Structure formats: structure tokens, C-alpha cells
Amino acid sequence: MFTSSSIIDNLNHSEGLEYKKLCRTLKITRKSDKDKLDIALAALEKLEIINKNENNEYTCTKDSNHIVAKIRCSSKGYCFAVREKNNEDIYIKENLLNYAWNGDKVLVRIIKEGYRRRSPEGIVDCILERSNKILLSKVEIINDSVYAIPIDDRILSKIKLPKEDKKYTYKPDIKNIVKVKIDRFPIAQDEGLGHVLQELQLDSNEELDTDFVLSKSNLINLGNENLIESKKIEKRERIDLSDKNSYIFKSWKSNNSPLLPMIQVEQMKDKSTKLWLHTNNIAERVELSSKKSLEKFFEGFESFPLLNNWQNYLSETVRNSSEFKIGDKNEAISLCLQLNSNNEITEWSFHLTLVKCSFIVGSDHTEALLSRKSKTRITSLLLKPIKKYIEDLDKILEISNSFRQRHLLEFKLEIPAPLNKIESLDEFFIHNPTEYSKGYLEPLKKEDCQTYLSPILDEANLIWFKHSNQYGLKSAGYLPRGIDNINANEIIKYSEFVENDIELNEDGNISFSQLLKLCGDDNKKRILHKVLINEFKENEVSLISKNADNDYPYKLFFSPWTMPGYDFTNLMNQYSIFNLIINGKKTKKNNMNEINIAGSNSFNLVNWEIFNSSISKSLDTLFNHFVINKLNEYKHKVNQYKSNMISIKKVRKAEKLLGNIYSGYILSVQSYGFFVEISELNVEGLVHVSTLNNDWFEYRSRQNILIGRKSKKSYKAGDEIEVKIIKVDILKYQVDLELT
């Protein structure tokens, strides 16, 4: 189904489309859909967002006063239109939202410029794309009519339901939330209409948690709906490395977790090393050269863990055909790194290969390898059967550690992953070696072998950025932002976490790593990690090219391609590498001497366009802002889902322990109370200020402290206190505590 957003996007990427061609582009054939298109075009013309030229072609209006933005609402009723590129948010009064909901993509017109510290004000003229197709709601009877009341208090509308949905009226004792399909969004004086799809009775029914959290995050449970087919691979010339030992480092337990690459190492007599990274060959198996094939991915751009398995964005057919299995010959897309005796990369090259998996390295193996006292004697019962692989594995671990140390020196920070004490969430907390949205690194941990895969993939992803950028090719990647310095005022707020001997630089700042070192107590250090993680903004995928107007340092971009079974960003970049190898121009016209454009030694020899116009057009279908925006929207939903799934399981745990008393640490303080982590359970809850009896507590934001006016009793981050679990709210993922 087309949206206003898809109309504008297609017109933006053309010099003009006449009506019939626009219908073909939007795949509109039915008369009812054409009638809807006519209404949309007339409305967009009236708003002067599009126009029709003398050739009866529709085009987007240049220098329009409208701004593309996303609506963000708070539970307190404040609404803003959030613009791209860090531009100032636009305040939207509720009566000027025109029924836009939280998350909707809209066109906004500024009606009052901002001044001093006040945001500009605007009005929503057009809703381009709806974020909520299905609402989680409570069914209520209002004036003899049946309505769905969204449980998300940021959505400021109710939806009228048919009379027969009265049977789903909300009952607090069973928490029967319903999924409501929107049949018509509210417009002008007309109410929104919908119908109940499914009832979820959440009271003590944990089996429905996944469905509930997926729906709340606006994610679809794909199930068997993923119909992406696997193409047959053409016969091509490949380097046969199947007689060499290759290793998969795997900590994930689920059978259908994302496909992981293989590592192969060859040590030379001059103490140099040839390191191969073999990636699952998905780009060669999936059709990506047309908009029609691309649209199949729009319902799922990324794989993510459920409770018992994973939801994969690729079909089982594609996964099975490209998975590396022990003893089987597989086609791969590989990177060869030449390392000197200090494990520094001197050269690299990309290749099509044939490979074979020799051994799957588990976390128990890395723990045994890194815990043994002597490398000359193998005493561990776990290591004796794999004695022939140990020299290779030791070298791989050494290289991984060398790469990580250089990354830390250059631009990255390490923060340990939060602890997990809920078995069903294990897959959520195992390190994902190609996850860059966090903005920081997790330390290498012998108990999690995938952490040792991470530095090697980081280097490979950095290399593809450098390689593609050198040739002026587009790539999709991440800029690691990190936190270089924390302001002294922030340190004051968390002074209980650190020792008193703090030295600030001349600007009144302290480095992030220095702050962490000053925290001596393990419990407080863990909590400080958790608090400071919130200072990192979620990293987004960016479109990067050599000719773009970018302010990014050359070395700072990760263009991930090494795990195409994990997400679409990796697949896009791998597809570009595949095309470089098979379709890239290796010579100038009339020149007989071919150059290896897939190798790092070619940079100074190439002064021509790598791809012809046909291949470039095919790649432009993938590498454009429309796709990147779609990717980021989906990634944000997935990150929201992961966070919410962890939260609901913690609340379920607390639900079974109502009335129990525990020791905890204050995480943060707000005007309405303070959040406490119960260390024993690794569960967070809120002590509301209304439960602090016999005094009036004043909030002092600069010190991040609550202080009693009469008693002068204070509560600040880092304080150890005793609390009782008094209430849980599954729908809001909330645990309420009180002091004992």
C-alpha cells in the first residue's frame, strides 16, 4: 500500500512522473487504490508540496516551506516534531497535531520562530507515514459505544470498535490487553475505526510476553512470512582454501542465531601472518538489484533474539544454503589481511573463495585457552582433543587482542555489558560482534568467545570503508561517537561512586576512562557503568561516499559487511564487495594490463570509475537515503524491543517477590523520586517521593539530590539503602519500591 511518503520519495528521485507512470512505480492497479491516489495528489498539490508541470508530470515543489520530521510525544502531553541532522525540534500544540501520533512521519510548517531558549512552533500539514498500524489497547465502554484506549499514553486518540468487541472489555485481574487493527485513522471530525485482532491475557502468563513486547515496539512476528528466495550460485573462479583449517567462534546457543563468519590463520617463517576472514555468501544468493526485490526486506531488516530462538530477517532457505557447516565445502566472500610481526595490517585484498569449517570454538574453549598457565603443556581435558588447532587459536586470540588495543588508543571506549540473572534472556546478553548502535565496545571476555571475534570484524569493517571510500563508492556505516569528556557538573551528581582524589583538566573536565578507574567498589562501578551508558546516544546507520559533505575523520567509519546474516546493512555492503570483485572495471579502455582493484595496492593505479552505469544504478537502488532511513527506523524499533523484553522479564521476576526486602543502590534521582537497583536481583525500581513520609523533599538538580526540608535527610546517586517490592506494573514495565 502506498503512503504520502512513498509518493514524495518517488517524485524526489525523478525529474517528473506522469500519472500512469506514477501508478506503475507505486504498483497501483485497482480502481479503489487509484481513487485514493487521486485524493492524495490533490491534497499534496493544495498544500503546495507537489505540483504538475506543463507536461502533466508530477514533481516535488522546490523551496517548499514544509519540513520532514517525526512526531515525538511525552506521557505528559508535550509534542515535538524531531528533524534530521540535529536541527532544533519544533514544538507542536496538541490541537495542531491534526491527529498525528507519536512516531508518525509528517510534514511540518513553522508558524512561530523560536527565540532565546524557546523552540519554534509549528503545525502538522500532512501525515506522510503512520508508525502504528496495530495498537495495544484496553477496551472500554464510553456512552454505550465500544472504544480501544491505547496503553501508550503518548497516543492521544481513542479508536471506535464494533459492538461485538464489547466482550474484550478490560478486566484488571487478568490484564486482558488487545491488539487492535486500525481500519481508519481519525481525520477531521471523524473518529478512528478499528477491530480487535487478538486478546492477550497477561496476568501470570509469561508465554504472551514476546507477542506483547513485539506489538508494543511495532514489530511484526514474521514466522513463515519471510519468502525471500535463494538463487542458485553461478559457477565462478574461486580460490580453493578448503584444505586449510577455518574456525567459527560461537557463544550464541540457539540453533537459528545469526550466521557467523570463519577465521583462518597462516603463520609465516618471517613472523608475518596471513589472516583470512570468510563471510557467509549471501549477497550472491539474494536478488537485490531492483526495487521489487528490495521491498521484500521492508518488514524485517535485522535479526533479533526472541526468548527461545531468533527472528531472522532472512528465510530458512537462504540461511541453510549459506551456513558454514563442519566438513562441508562452502562458497564465501573473503578478506585476506597481511600482518607484520607486530600484527599490524600491511596489505589486504577481497576474494571469492571455497572454504571448509574445521572446528566451532565455544566460550569454554577460549576460557580454557586463556586460563592455562603454560602454552607448552596441554593438561585441560577440553583442549586435548583439539591439540592440532591450538597454535592457530592462540594466534587468532593474540591478533584479536592487538587489534583491540589499537582501536582503544584511536577512538573507542570499553564498558562491560550489564549482568544478567534471568536464564531466558541469555541470548540477549551474549556479545554481538557486529553491533555498532551502542557507541562503545564491550571488553574482551574469555567467558564469551564472540568478544574475541569482534576486534577482527571491526578491522574488516573499517577496511571496507577505506577501500570503498578510496574508489568513491557508497557504503552504509556507523560513526563511533563515544564520550571523550564528562563535564565536572556530571561528576558531582555521581560523587558517591568515585574516590575524592579527582584531577580535572584546565577545562574542568575528566576523561571517561579516568572516571571509571576512580571507582573502586565493584558494585558501584557496575552501577556507574549502567548510569553512564545512558549518556551514549543510539548510533544510526549513515550513507557515506567520498563526494559527500562529511566532517568525519577518515579512520572512524565502520562499514559492516562481515555478518550479512545478521542485518541488511551488512548485506548491502557485502553486495557492493561482490560487485567489485565480479563487475568492477579492472583496466582502462584499450589497456591490456589488468589491476587487482580488490586489493589495497591498487589505489594509486586506478583513475577511472569502477562500475559502469548499469551496476551503479543497481547499487543506487540500495544506497540511498530512503533505504537508510527505513533501516534506522527498524533498528530503533528492534533496540526498543530488546530493552523492553529485558524490562518485562525483570518485572516478572519482581512480581514473584512482592513484599520481600532487599539492599540496593540509588541509580539516579528525579523530582518525583529515585531509581534503585536491587543488586541481588539485578532489577531496578522506583521509590516515589510520595512514599517518603513525614517530610517535604526538595529536588536539587545540580547535585542530583533529594533533601528533606525539616529533617535534612538526603538521597543521592550511590547511596546504599534497603527497599521493599510493593507493586509491579507489567504494562509499563515498572517496579514500585518503598524504603524500609
Domain CATH for 164: 2.40.50.700
**578 and 458 within one domain:** yes
Q: Is the pLDDT of residue 576 over 90?
A: yes
Is residue 230 included in any domain, yes or no? no
Residue that finishes a domain, picked among 78, 104, 129: 129
Cα end-to-end distance, the chain, whole Å: 56
Distance (Å, whole) CA 712 – CA 700? 13
Angle at 378 between CA 377 and CA 382, to 5 degrees: 170
Task: Report how far Cα 519 is from the mean position of its chain's Cα atoms.
Answer: 30
pLDDT digits (tens, 9 = 90+) for 97-124: 999 999 999 999 999 998 877 899 999 9
The secondary structure of residue 716, as a DSSP letter, is E
Question: CATH no. for residue 665?
Answer: 2.40.50.140
Summary mean pLDDT of the chain: 88
How many domains are there within the chain?
A: 6
When pLDDT is averaged across residues 16-23 and rounded to a whole number, the result is 88
Q: Is the pLDDT of residue 516 over 70?
A: no
Same domain, 196 and 329: no
More confident residue, 5 or 678: 678
Host domain of residue 103: 66-129
pLDDT computed for residue 69 by the predictor: 92
Query: Residue 212 falls within a domain, yes or no?
Result: no
Phi-psi bin for 76: left (phi > 0), alpha (psi -120 to 50), beta?
Answer: alpha
Residue range 440-462: average pLDDT?
Answer: 95
Pick the more confident residue, 201 or 377: 201
Last residue of a domain, one of 113, 129, 145: 129
pTM: 0.89
Residue 241 to residues 238, 332, 340: CA-CA distances in angstroms?
A: 9, 10, 22
Is it the case that residue 490 has pLDDT exceeding 60?
no
> Which residues, listed in sequence order, are joined to residue 347 by a DSSP beta bridge?
338
Residues 441 and 560 reside in one and the same domain = yes
Distance CA 172, CA 415 (A): 41
Are 444 and 529 in a shared domain? no
Please indicate, yes or no, whether residues 32 and 105 belong to a single structural domain of this protein: no
Binning pLDDT at 50, 70 and 90, where does residue 418 land? Answer: confident
Residue 396 and residue 362 share a domain: yes
Cα–Cα distance for residue pair 382/503, rounded to 1 Å: 47
Judge if 260 and 320 occupy the same domain: yes
In this structure, is residue 650 part of a structural domain? no
Query: Cell digits for 528?
Result: 556507574
Identify the pLDDT of residue 584: 93
Measured from the Cβ of residue 557, the count of other Cβ atoms closer than 10 Å reads: 22
Answer whether residue 621 shows pLDDT above 90.
Answer: no
- 497 in a structural domain: yes
Q: Residue 509's beta-bridge partner residues?
A: 487
CA distance 473 to 576: 9
Which residues, 6 or more positions from 475, have their beta carbon under 8 angstroms from its beta carbon?
Answer: 464, 465, 468, 469, 544, 545, 557, 559, 573, 576, 623
Say which amino acid occupies 523.
N
Residue 693 and residue 679: Cα distance in Å, rounded? Answer: 25
The C-alpha angle with vertex 106 and arms to 105 and 107, in degrees rounded to 5, equals 145
* Three-class DSSP labels, 109-131: EEEECCECCECCEEEEEEEEECC
198: pLDDT strictly greater than 90: yes
Q: Give yes or no for residue 515 having a pLDDT over 70.
A: no
Q: Are the C-beta atoms of residues 260 and 242 closer than 8 Å to each other?
A: no
What residues have CB less than 8 Å from 31, skipping those under 6 apart? none
pLDDT of residue 551: 47
Same domain flag for 322 and 452:
yes
Indicate the Cα dihedral angle 200, 202, 207, 212, nearest 10°: 60
Contact 465, 572 (CB under 8 A): no
Round to whole Å and give the CA distance between 298 and 228.
11
Q: Is residue 565 part of a domain?
A: yes
Query: In the predicted model, is pLDDT for residue 451 greater than 50?
Result: yes
Q: Is the pLDDT of residue 190 over 50?
A: yes
Q: What's the whole-number mean pLDDT along residues 524-539?
A: 76
The count of other CB atoms within 10 Å of the CB of residue 448 is 22
Report how far Cα 347 is from the mean position of its chain's Cα atoms: 31
Q: Name the percent of the chain lying above pLDDT 90.
A: 56
170 and 277 share one domain: no
Confidence of residue 488 (pLDDT cuts 50, 70, 90): very low
DSSP conformation class of 253? -
Question: What average pLDDT does the segment 592-607 reach?
Answer: 88
Residues 9 and 143 placed together within one structural domain of the fold: no
Residue 558 lies in a domain: yes
Higher pLDDT among residues 247 and 551, named by residue:
247
3-state class (DSSP) for residue 284: coil
In 3D space, the residue among 722, 727, 721 whose CA is nearest the CA of residue 657 turns out to be: 727
Cα–Cα distance for residue pair 401/326, rounded to 1 Å: 26
Report how far residue 125's alpha carbon sits from residue 98's, in angstroms, rounded to the nearest whole number: 8
Give mean pLDDT, residues 163-178: 94
For the segment 33-37, the average pLDDT, to the nearest whole number, is 89
Claim to verify: residue 249 and residue 368 sit in the same structural domain: yes
Residue 226 resides in a domain:
no
Strand partners, 187: 190
Is the residue at 229 inside a domain?
no
Do 556 and 525 sit in the same domain of this protein? no
Grid coordinates belonging to 653: 521476576
Q: Residue 552 above 70 pLDDT?
A: no
So what's the pLDDT on residue 115?
Answer: 84
Q: Which amino acid is at 585?
A: K
27 — pLDDT class (breaks 50, 70, 90)? confident
Encode pLDDT of 381-390 as tens digits: 899 999 999 9
Average pLDDT value for residue range 233-255: 95
Burial of 514-550, coded b for 16+ CB within 10 Å and e otherwise, reads bbbebbebebbbbbbbbbbeeebeebbbbbbeeeeee
